[in-house]
Amino acid sequence: MIFYFSATGNNKYVASRIAEATKDSITSISECMKKESYLFSLKDGQNFGLVIPTYFGGFPKIVIDFLSKLKITISANNYVFFVGTYGAGAGNICKEAEKRLSAFGKVPNATFTIKMMDNWIPYFDMTDKAYIEKAESEAEPVLADVIEKVSSHTKELNGGKGMPGITQKIATVYYGMACSTNKFSVSDSCIGCGVCERQCPVQAIKVKDGKPEWIKKKCTLCLGCVHRCPKNAITYTEKTKGHGQYYNPNVKPE
């Protein structure tokens, strides 16, 4: 059983590839949150995996909220693994995974990181096809290695040095500030199709009078609404203008 959070398909792709090799099932954290589905059962010897992106050196808020509500019993016979994808840096994602997953009664058997293309468009340009192709191709051998290790139940914790504590605290504070939905805006090219409302994992968007409105003060900052808009009508601050959109071409949007 592999839980994943993915706004633009990267982590769904990683989870799907691992599940294909291990014969596991994958479960979307976004869908669990929308349906308020938090009770799960693991069979004896079954894998338990968590595949998520790195946000500001740590866990996305939606994943933290999900884990706080998740009801699942993990035994010594369950192989527990974590995969954190990242673009600019992995921060303390593996250390945080050890702490949060240990709350379910067992220290993870393995934690891994995979560097993928960074679709944080306030800084990275998704119209740069050469960058995307390079990042996608370089991620493949690392993913293959992770798949092999998970399949063989390798024990490997990759906490590393991570960010200094004070730096991580600053990053976490900045993440909280950056989650303010007043930073989003919609252009006149919006057609009111409702894709943004349907895909928002925290239900922060509501289409009213043909235009999306952010009905919550904060979101999880996945930028799925920006990347998924068919008219590229949504921006998150002026920095995202002209930086294009991205969705992993290997998986279908949810």
- pLDDT band of residue 160 (cuts 50, 70, 90) is low
Are 254 and 11 spatial neighbours (Cβ–Cβ below 8 Å)? no
Phi-psi category of residue 60: left, alpha or beta, with phi > 0 → left and psi -120 to 50 → alpha: beta
**Angle, alpha carbons 96-99-103 (nearest 5°):** 140
* pLDDT tens digits for range 206-231: 999 999 999 999 999 999 999 999 99
- Please tell me the distance from the alpha carbon of residue 80 to that of residue 61, in angstroms, as a whole number: 21
- Please tell me the distance from the alpha carbon of residue 254 to that of residue 252, in angstroms, as a whole number: 6
Domains of the chain listed by start with CATH number: 2-165 (3.40.50.360), 180-234 (3.30.70.20)
DSSP labels for 52-89? EE-BTTB--HHHHHHHHH-B----TTS-EEEEEEESS-
* pLDDT tens digits for range 35-66: 999 999 999 999 999 999 999 999 999 999 99
Residue that has been written with the tokens 């790195």 in this structure = 54
DSSP labels for 138-198? HHHHHHHHHHHHHHTT--B----S-S-HHHHHHHHHHHHHHTBGGGEEE-TT-----HHHH
Q: What predicted TM-score, i.e. pTM, was given to this entire model?
A: 0.96
